[in-house]
Amino acid sequence: MEKVAFKEHSTEEVLQRLKNKDDIEIVDVREPEEWEAGRIPGVKHIPLGEIPIRLNEIDPKKETILVCRSGNRSGKAAEFLTQKGYNVVNMRGGMLDWTGDVERD
């Protein structure tokens, strides 16, 4: 399968978009234990392996930013969703580079 180009934002760009209250949704694709350890407040959690069966939870028209630990898994999700026609952006650097607020269980 050929690689599909998708949009990417740095963590700083995502943080700025949140501060601007842009009309975006954020989906964290990490595993449950990673998500529970710390996440961007208010994000939706759909582990990478569940994305194909939970597509109905992502609005294809709304810009959705995908997040993981480092940007690799969210990049895979971005590639998959872009192929399906979704409007997605990968957050480069992931939670390792995130400097904004973090919510924990």
Q: Residue 23 in contact with residue 63, Cβ under 8 Å?
A: yes
Domain limits, the chain = 11-97
Catalytic (active-site) positions? 68
Return the structure tokens found at 56.
Answer: 């109905």
CATH architecture, domain defined by 11-97: 3-Layer(aba) Sandwich (3.40)
Tens digit of pLDDT for each residue in 41-89? 999 999 999 999 999 999 999 999 999 999 999 999 999 999 999 999 9
pTM of the entire predicted model: 0.95
Q: Residue 77 in contact with residue 51, Cβ under 8 Å?
A: yes
Tens digit of pLDDT for each residue in 18-38? 999 999 999 999 999 999 999
